[in-house]
Structure 1
Amino acid sequence: MTIALKTPAKSAVTAIEAAPSALARDHFAAQFAFETDCWDVHDALSKGADFVLLDVRSPSQFAKGHVPGAINLPHGKIIGSKMAKWPEETVFVTYCAGPHCNGAARGALRLADLGRPVKLMAGGITGWIDEGFELETGEAAE
């Protein structure tokens, strides 16, 4: 007597085959050209950042708590005339409330449309707090 083993059904994770390793490597390597994380930003800020950190949330959200050293510039107000004070090669890092918010991506898109080098800080304020880093409070300096 032969017993047939039942093949388990594929899960939502494995229903679509994983990419070949070479393709996955290229994808994940390229991801670092588009984003950074809270740890890397924190480390860079502690050593003297070579980028401008933009909090793209509203001024009221910024005042309640923001990453130390960040400049408040809501994504809808990112325009060429406001960016003119920084050299063209300045790298910008945008962040917003967290993974549930697309403000950082909106800000990054506006900067890219202006021809500016830009990365997004994955996690935003939520990620910053989750990592145990401190926030500053108060309104943005003019």
Structure 2
Amino acid sequence: MSMSASDFFRAKLQCEIDVMEVAESEPGSLVVVDTRRQSSWDHGHIPGAVHLPTAQIPALGRDLVPAGSHVVVYSWGPGCNGSTFAALAFAELGYSVKEMIGGIEYWIRNGLPVETAAGIVPSAPDALVTAHKS
């Protein structure tokens, strides 16, 4: 049985969230999970995110993310499907999970802050990507 286009896109929207919706979400309503490797995390990540590389989710997901949480996973950007694998892993653990489309690349391109060892640093919005004003 094939799925209609409207059913496909309705289902897709239930599994994805964009960076601005994550940024504007009620504090504490989402557990944002960075699924990239340690060096990428160290380079910069979303403030308040949990670091849990995709391969470690089956073993550590339940220990690091409280049951019943609304999970949002991200990886580098649209050219990387690491967050898709991570979303699948969390879904298989029984979590409500969405994939943040655009990843940290579009988080940064939308002018949102990034956390590094030096603290939280602002990003300059890319006018070709967002109308968001910092």
Q: Same fold (TM over 0.5)?
A: yes
Q: 2:8 aligns with which of 13, 18, 27?
A: 27
Q: 1:90 aligns with which of 69, 78, 86?
A: 69
Aligned Cα root-mean-square deviation (Å): 1.8
In structure 2, C-alpha distance between the alignment counterparts of 1:77 and 1:117, rounded to whole Å: 18
Residue 43 of structure 1: aligned partner: 24
Deviating above 4 A after TM superposition, structure 1's stretches of 4 or more consecutive aligned residues are: none
Residue 110 of structure 2: aligned partner: 131
SS at match of 1:33: helix
Task: With the length of structure 1 as denominator, give the TM-score of the two structures.
Answer: 0.73
Could you say which structure has the greater relative contact order, defined with CA pairs below 8 angstroms and 6 or more residues apart? 1
* Residues 80, 114 of structure 1: 8 Å contact kept: no
In structure 1, C-alpha distance between the alignment counterparts of 2:39 and 2:86, rounded to whole Å: 17
- Map residues 92-107 of structure 1 onto 2, 5 A cutoff: 92-107=71-86
- Map residues 65-84 of structure 1 onto 2, 5 A cutoff: 65-84=44-63
Q: Give aligned pairs, total.
A: 115
In structure 2, C-alpha distance between the alignment counterparts of 1:57 and 1:86, rounded to whole Å: 16
- Structure 2 unpaired stretches of 5+: 119-134
Residue 121 of structure 1: aligned partner: 100
The more displaced of 75-84 and 55-64 is: 75-84
In structure 1, C-alpha distance between the alignment counterparts of 2:61 and 2:11, rounded to whole Å: 29
Task: With the length of structure 2 as denominator, give the TM-score of the two structures.
Answer: 0.77
Residue 3 of structure 1: aligned partner: none
Aligned in 2, Cα 1:25/1:72: closer, same or farther, shift over 3 Å?
same
Letter of the aligned partner of 1:138 in structure 2? Answer: A
In structure 2, C-alpha distance between the alignment counterparts of 1:85 and 1:102, rounded to whole Å: 22
Percent sequence identity is 37
SS at match of 1:121: strand
- Structure 1 unpaired stretches of 5+: 1-22
* Residues 94, 119 of structure 1: 8 Å contact kept: yes
How far 1:137 sits from its partner (Å)? 0.6
- Map residues 45-60 of structure 1 onto 2, 5 A cutoff: 47-60=26-39
How far 1:24 sits from its partner (Å)? 3.9
If you compute each CA radius of gyration, which structure gives the higher value, 1 or 2?
Answer: 1
